[in-house]
Amino acid sequence: MRRLFGSVRSRATLGATLVVAVALVAAGAAVLLSLRSNLIDQAGTQAERAARNVAADLSGGTPYTSLELDDDEPVQVVDEHDTLVAATEHLEGISGTRTAEVKPQPPAAGTGGTGGTSASGDPEDSDDDSAGDDESVLEPGEIADGVGLTNGSATIDGESADYRFAAVEVEVPGKGTLTVYAGASLNPEQSAVGTAQTVMLVGFPLLLGVVAAVTWLVTRRALRPVEGIRAEMAAITASEDLARRVPVPDTHDEVARLARTTNETLAALETSVERQRRFVADASHELRSPIASLRTQLEVAAAHPELLDLEGAVEDTVRLQHLAADLLLLARLDAGERGAGARVELAALARERIAGRAGVTVRADAVEVTGSRGQLERVLDNLLDNAERHARSAVVVTVRRDGDRNAVVEVGDDGDGVPAGDRERIFERFVRLDEARARDDGGAGLGLAIARDVAARHGGTLTVRDAPTGGALFELRLPIA
């Protein structure tokens, strides 16, 4: 059971069926109550009409024995002393009226007073206050406007049924206040309600079955692309082929957006994995050279100590140390490491980093940013190293504000500059535009990549354009603290 309702299709079908079932039950109950109320009202109206017809005959002076009483519907005429004075001829039993008598009796002696009983059967109050109430006293020959309605039963010619009884009072001269009870059968109401219940009991399950089947088919059709996406993702996971893409349905719904987002994620993952693969390959290649050189020197020194190139060994070791530090920093940046929340004064930092560098000048305004001082030092060092490698004679560092939001650090040289087509490529890892130059002079090609990644982690940017002196001008933009 748990597995059956573990799918979206099953839960959607069950949910839709339950909602429709609740709605149908509520609507069915409302329909049955409304139908029953309307039919009972109709029966009451029919009973009141019959009672008023008899009351009209009585008010016109028609004797009890000459009243036209319907042989198929129960009618009673009761005087103010609860004596049955007229009734349907074949009435055998009755309930729901003031008296259960079915055979008329002679009127009690002394009838004809103005006192009486109410339609409900309770004796009317006969004190002075009640007698003085004009609204409760009927004039001779007058029929009361009010009507009392009750439910009961009656037996006529051996057939029993439920009835809606209407009680109407009439003041008859010489006879006092009479109450006419007339009943209208409730069989049509019971039959109609029973038929409606039967139709609902049969139709509701069929309708729920249709709803469940339609919901199942619709959800299966709607979720079919999702199953295709799941199957393709499973195949991609099994094959480890990130170049594959999930099918995108030809729709404009959430499933199509899911497929497109999944493909975008796969593309980003493929790019990341490819970048990581190239990074590992390039790092292995870059590490191989100084390690091989250092090993060769050590092997030569082991065999011929007098031939040991100590300076070369130190240089290779330092280069290996710098390369390892760069690789570790890139790994931390790729892992999402962000700069600390320290406040760094860029003008002071720039003057500190150019100390000891020949041909480098600085023009700086005081401006503070928030971040990691160590990582920002690495950015400035990398930009200065790159500028010194390519400058003919001078490097200029400028620190300034750009409005109220940004701090700008510019490092320019008077070298050959960077071709327009390579201005994004130089920020890729292990990229050196002059592949023919010595690695010791050109570095491993990680400095600018590290500088851009650090800038991005600090909420800034790093770009390059032509310098006024003809060389390259690197512009670092960071948000002001």
CATH number of the domain residue 405 falls in: 3.30.565.10
Lowest-pLDDT choice from 72-81, 109-118, 332-341: 109-118
377 vs 4 pLDDT, higher one: 377
Instruction: With respect to residue 250, please indicate whether it lies within any of the assigned structural domains.
Output: no
Q: When comparing pLDDT for 279 and 443, which is higher? A: 279
Residue 247 forms part of a structural domain: no
Distance CA 257, CA 176 (A): 87
Same domain, 325 and 409: no
In this structure, the answer to whether residues 72 and 211 fall within a common structural domain is yes
pLDDT at 93 over 90: yes
CA–CA gap between residue 85 and residue 69 (Å, rounded)? 13
pLDDT at 105 over 60: yes
pLDDT of residue 5: 54
Question: Which of 179, 206, 239 corresponds to the end of one domain?
Answer: 239
Residue 288: the pLDDT is 78
Judged against a pLDDT cut of 50, whether residue 162 lies above it is answered with yes
Non-local (6+) Cβ contacts of 289 within 8 A are 439
For the record, the structure tokens of 356 come out as 């000891």
Please tell me whether residues 353 and 328 are part of one structural domain: no
Q: Has residue 145 got a pLDDT over 50?
A: yes
Portion of the chain with pLDDT greater than 90, in percent = 44
| pLDDT score of 125 more than 80 | no
Q: Which of 214, 239, 264 is the last residue of a domain?
A: 239
User: pLDDT at residue 124 above 50?
Assistant: no
Q: How confident is the model at residue 21 (pLDDT cuts 50, 70, 90)?
A: very high
Domain end residue (candidates: 334, 353, 376): 334
Q: Is the pLDDT of residue 333 over 70?
A: yes
Q: 349: pLDDT confidence band, cut at 50, 70 and 90?
A: very high
- Tell me what pLDDT residue 340 has: 67
Indicate whether 452 belongs to any domain: yes
Q: Is 362 exposed, middle or buried (0-12, 13-18, 19+ CB in 10 A)?
A: middle
Over residues 173-182, mean pLDDT? 91
Question: Is residue 15 within 8 Å of 28, Cβ to Cβ?
Answer: no
Instruction: Say yes or no to pLDDT of 339 above 70.
Output: no
Percent pLDDT > 70 in the chain is 89
In a shared domain, residues 63 and 173? yes
Other CB atoms within 10 Å distance of the CB of residue 454: 27
Q: What is the mean pLDDT of the chain?
A: 84
Number of domain units in the chain: 3
User: Are 267 and 217 within one domain?
Assistant: no
pLDDT band of residue 275 (cuts 50, 70, 90) is confident
- Which range of residues forms the domain containing residue 327? 255-334
Residue 454 in this model has a pLDDT that exceeds 80 = yes
More confident call, 476 vs 431:
476
| Phi, then psi, of 136 in degrees rounded to 5 | -95, 0
Please classify residue 142 by burial: count the beta carbons closer than 10 Å to its beta carbon, then call 0-12 exposed, 13-18 middle and 19+ buried: middle
pLDDT computed for residue 131 by the predictor? 32
95 & 219 share domain:
yes
Is 245 a domain residue?
no
Question: Are residues 286 and 149 located together in one domain of the fold?
Answer: no
Residue 455 lies in a domain: yes
User: Model-level pTM?
Assistant: 0.50
For 268-298, b where at least 16 C-beta lie within 10 A, e where not — what string?
A: eeeeeeeeeeebeebbeebeebbeebbeebe
Instruction: Flag whether 246 is in a domain.
Output: no
